[in-house]
Amino acid sequence: MKALTGDDPAALGHYTLLARLGAGGMGVVYLGRSPAGRLVAIKVVRDEYAADPAYRSRFAREARSAQRVSGYFSAAVIEAEPGARTPWLAQEYVPGPSLQATVREQGPLPPRTLVRLALGLAEAVRSIHAAGLVHRDLKPGNVLLAEDGPRVIDFGLARSVLPDGHTRTGSLMGTPGYMSPEQARGEEVGFASDVFSLGGVLAYAATGRRPFGEGAPAAVLHRIATAEPDLAGIAEPFRGLIAACLAKDPAARPTAEALISRVTELGGQDPDWLPEGVRRGVDAARREQENLLRQGRPLRERRRRWPLAAGAAAAALVLVAGGVAAARLLPAGGGGSAGAGAGEAPPSAGSPAGDPAEAPEGLPRTELTGDDLGEPDLLLSDPGGRVLSEAAFKPDGSRLSVGGPAVLQTWLVGEERLAADTVLPDGQGTQAFGYSPDPQGPIEAYAAVGLLDSGRIELISEKEDGWYLQAAPDGTTVADVEFSAQGDRLLGLDAGCRLTVWAMDPGEKTADAWISKANPTVWPQASWHPDGDYIIGTCGGRPAILAPENGEVVETVPTRDTPRDAVFSPDGSTIAVVGDNHVVELWNADTLERYAALSGAEGPIMKAAYNGDGSVLATLGVSEPDEDQASEELTADLGTVFDETVRLWSPADQEQIGVLDADNGSVPLGLAFGPDDAVAVTYENGDVAVWNLG
């Protein structure tokens, strides 16, 4: 889900638009709200296609076709205006990921999920056929996974059948890889064609592979028409069911009704059908939906007294072959403007002195109390006992990645086991790690790793390995990385306070600037505004708010003490600032006035993080340096008091909730929230503690 842009309409028909759900070459899909409060997905045709009579006619046909289908496992079309100046179609909103995204990110589905998926899709196909239609484009991307079962969407290629039970021929329509043999040959297709496509979808869900392989469309279509499907790894009786669907002869395939009978014999009634990682993603989408309804405003509505800096100095991302194993380096390249020093800005009107400022309206509240904070629900340990200083959850909560000076690990949270453990030479490890909520760009990188020794950010992708971004040309350590909430941009911040921003698609650098030109007095940190409009960063001076388009500093937060971290709340209404004054400062992001200073910490604070809805703020205190570090200067700056503690706070109630204590005798060094209010803390002794606060 992404924020609306300035080019998006505020409403369509009587629906208020709240956010973007997706966009493609043909149109945009919005999340809308009816006057009665019902959420819908609104598909809108782009202007260039709306002007094409043929495409407009096809869109009108899609609306009519979809409205004829009334089955439970298809997303119902509620209303459509194909004749409007901007044609649109409102459909039931399904808060869940696509089957394609789920399998791509988490692998093949377990047997109980496959059975429920097969039953739901068979029922959806039966409903489509009962309406006299052939879908013609069943594929994993057109199947959404909801809490109560799958949903089939997108009737753009659906056609009515003729009296003989077939659609007209004359053109090749569909998605290579999931077409039936008769569809691939451009022949007449009937209900059996959808059953073949359904078999291909189930094979993909069971194996993670297309049953007729990858490659050029012509080669795939040839294999569909002549070769047997690859069903290796699928156990009986599910294998036989899929094979029957994929029969070359349409007459040999089961009908949707017969398929339902066969699947019902296998079970398929388990209401807890989704894998744990998918369920968490669905729950997160539902909470986001509830938050939007509660707030009653679009994601883009933010009242600020500070302007967005204009202009953008974008440099193309250059791909250069070279390095060990032909690693492809994306160098810093072209010039960017250096932002003004954050500490140089004059004090803003919002000063900590004087009467308390007004808190933003509608701050979310938590029912969490100190009595709820017991032992961690999960305690993982690095087999080598290496220092772990970073943590990041995958957006669906299925994986937790942790890192340190000599290690990068990924844990499978539900299975409590390591999925990957990379041992690195000490000093060449990871200082920062971030997951993308929506992988985009040429390689669809789903994570980024900031490296200690080279000034580079490694991009992790399922498509290709060996891609890097050069964040610091001089090899300075990468101090922080973070994807925007929309997944379309990535920031990198080096230890010298140099900020670089990349647009993931098509792959352009948009900013190359400095948060502060002065030498940093604390470890630099940066994070995104939830709308992706701004970045906030700290380097020891006042927290700077920057424009990601060019890195220009547009405003500073006028805190008086040395800040170490500053983060926006999930709704963008508050800026939380922590640092050497032992308090948590809460600033109204619209007015840049401080409305609360929460006390209770016993020393300097180095990190802050919000949970998903902003009702809980976690902070991590500064730890005492090792004896072999240059600690005299640090101790002189901070005093002799350290607060090696993770504390939880309620911003709405402006009070401390309690302390997270793993009781493992080690110092906490890293902190991250995940979905369902899971919070992970990494430790000096290699432990990773996870508390489920939800």
453 and 560 together in one domain:
yes
Pairwise CA distance, residues 552 & 248, whole Å:
61
- The answer to whether residue 252 sits within a structural domain is yes
Q: What are 380-430's pLDDT values in tens digits?
A: 999 889 999 999 999 999 999 999 988 889 999 988 888 888 776 655 678
Pairwise CA distance, residues 690 & 559, whole Å:
32
Q: What is the pTM of this model?
A: 0.56
Q: Provide the pLDDT for residue 369.
A: 95
43 annotated as belonging to a binding site for a ligand: yes
Q: Provide the pLDDT for residue 421.
A: 80
Q: Provide the pLDDT for residue 59.
A: 78
- The answer to whether residue 641 sits within a structural domain is yes
122 and 65 together in one domain:
no
Taking a C-beta distance cutoff of 8 angstroms, is the pair 634, 646 a contact? no
Q: Which of 93, 122, 147 finishes a domain?
A: 93
- The answer to whether residue 5 sits within a structural domain is no
What is the identity of the amino acid at 322? G
Any idea what the CATH number is for the domain that residue 340 is in?
Answer: 2.130.10.10
Catalytic-residue membership of 137: yes
84 and 197 together in one domain:
no
83 and 109 together in one domain:
no
Tally of structural domains, the chain: 3
Q: Provide the pLDDT for residue 625.
A: 59
209 and 352 together in one domain:
no
What is the identity of the amino acid at 657? I
114 and 228 together in one domain:
yes
Q: Provide the pLDDT for residue 7.
A: 78
Q: What are 349-360's pLDDT values in tens digits?
A: 333 444 468 899
26 and 128 together in one domain:
no
Any idea what the CATH number is for the domain that residue 175 is in?
Answer: 1.10.510.10
Q: Which of 65, 93, 121 finishes a domain?
A: 93
472 and 599 together in one domain:
yes
Q: Give the three-class secondary structure for 401.
A: strand
Q: To 10 degrees, what angle do helices 111-130 and 191-207 make?
A: 160
Written in H, E and C, the secondary structure of 647-663 is EEEECCCCEEEEEECCC
Q: Provide the pLDDT for residue 335.
A: 32
Which of 7, 8, 47, 137 is catalytic? The answer is 137
Q: Provide the pLDDT for residue 425.
A: 64
78 and 168 together in one domain:
no
Pairwise CA distance, residues 565 & 537, whole Å:
7
Q: In which residue ranges of the chain is pLDDT below 70?
A: 1, 24-26, 62, 70-72, 155-174, 268-270, 288-356, 424-428, 464-466, 506, 517-519, 624-641
- The answer to whether residue 307 sits within a structural domain is no
Q: Provide the pLDDT for residue 304.
A: 47
516 and 568 together in one domain:
yes
Any idea what the CATH number is for the domain that residue 63 is in?
Answer: 3.30.200.20
Q: Which of 236, 264, 292 finishes a domain?
A: 264
- For the chain, helix (H) and strand (E) counts, in that order, are 11, 41
513 and 598 together in one domain:
yes
Strand arrangement of the beta sheet that strand 407-412 belongs to = 390-393, 399-404, 407-412, 417-423
Range of the domain at 415: 315-692
239 and 337 together in one domain:
no
Q: Counting Cβ atoms within 10 Å, is residue 48 exposed (0-12), middle (13-18) or buried (19+)?
A: exposed
Q: Counting Cβ atoms within 10 Å, is residue 326 exposed (0-12), middle (13-18) or buried (19+)?
A: exposed
